[in-house]
Amino acid sequence: MRSLREPIRRSFDRAVAPIVRMSETRANHLGSLFTDVLVGAALVWAGLYRTGAHPGMALLAFGMGLLAFSWVEYGFHRWLMHGQVPLLGPGHRKHHENPTGHDSMPFFLPPMILAVLVSLFALLMPVGDALLLAGGLACGYAAYGLSHAVIHVKRFRHPLGRRWAAVHHVHHYHPDANFGVTTPLWDIVLGTRYVRNQEGTERIKRA
Ligand SMILES: [Zn+2]
Ligand SMILES: [Zn+2]
């Protein structure tokens, strides 16, 4: 079994090598930030256009998408990027070694995944709500990409901005804590938030 796995892994590595190289470029990084914002805005616009008569449902679908993405952001970062998943684990390790580098998802992947999600959601709910649910996910993803880029290149003056950015900078020193970038919500819920105790020493707060 082992002897079969190794050639398969080598073939996979060879097949994805051009995509990995492309995902390390500045053009891909900037292109994906732009594409993600554009796709999020287009999905929300199309969803609002189709929903019309149900503003409460529209808001609920968009809010659920945002909340769902905050979970995806946490789960991917904790279990996949800090795991051994090809394209995610090694790519994320490069980001920890060089936080201002350009490693990011290939720009075409998120729109492809969102297209599949819209199709699946539309089987379960009206098309307008499916677009808004996917729009919430897409806007959450765009906010994550922009937040992560800004946190590593900007020094915030406002104390709230400094505290928000510090949560992620702490993750770079303590990779087993603070997995949420846009929000600490799931770190608080699942007990992986890095906190100072009364003695002033720091620890990961377990639930
Ligand atoms: Zn980072
Ligand atoms: Zn990390």
Q: Quick one: tokens of 64?
A: 């659920």
**CA–CA distance, 39 with 137 (Å, rounded to integer):** 10
pTM summary value: 0.85
HSE, CB side, 13 Å, CA atoms: give it for residue 76. 15
Give the C-alpha separation, 197 to 72, whole Å: 29
User: Which ligand number lies closest to the CA of residue 81?
Assistant: 2
Residue 19 CA to ligand 1 center (angstroms) comes to 21
- Residue 95: nearest ligand to its CA? 1
Distance 123 CA to ligand 1 centre (A): 36
Which residue carries 């090694």 as its tokens?
A: 90
State pLDDT tens for residues 153-170.
989 999 999 999 999 999
Extract the residue ranges of the chain whose pLDDT is less than 70: 1-4, 52-53, 86-87, 197-207
For the chain, domain boundaries: 2-149
Q: How remote is the CA of residue 96 from the centroid of ligand 1, in Å?
A: 7
Which ligand is located closest to the Cα atom of residue 104? Answer: 1
Question: 178 and 73 in contact (C-beta within 8 Å)?
Answer: no
Q: Which ligand is nearest to the CA of 103?
A: 1
Output the pLDDT for position 206. Answer: 54
How many angstroms does the Cα of residue 54 sit away from the middle of ligand 1? 39
Count CA atoms within 13 Å of residue 122 on its CB side: 13
Task: Please tell me the distance between residue 154's alpha carbon and the centre of ligand 2 in angstroms.
Answer: 19
The pLDDT of residue 207 is 46
Kindly give the distance from the C-alpha atom of residue 63 to the centroid of ligand 1, in angstroms, as a whole number.
25
| C-alpha distances out from residue 117 to 54, 126, 130, 140, 167, Å | 21, 14, 8, 15, 31
d(CA 141, ligand 1 centre) in Å? 15
CB 76 within 8 A of CB 89: no
Q: Is 60 exposed, middle or buried (0-12, 13-18, 19+ CB in 10 A)?
A: middle
Q: pLDDT tens across 33-46, in order?
A: 999 999 999 999 99
Task: Output the CA angle 150-159-182, nearest 5 degrees.
Answer: 40
Ligand in nearest proximity to the CA of 80:
2
User: What is the sign of the dihedral through the CA atoms of 141, 146, 152 and 154?
Assistant: negative
- What confidence score (pLDDT) does residue 53 get? 58
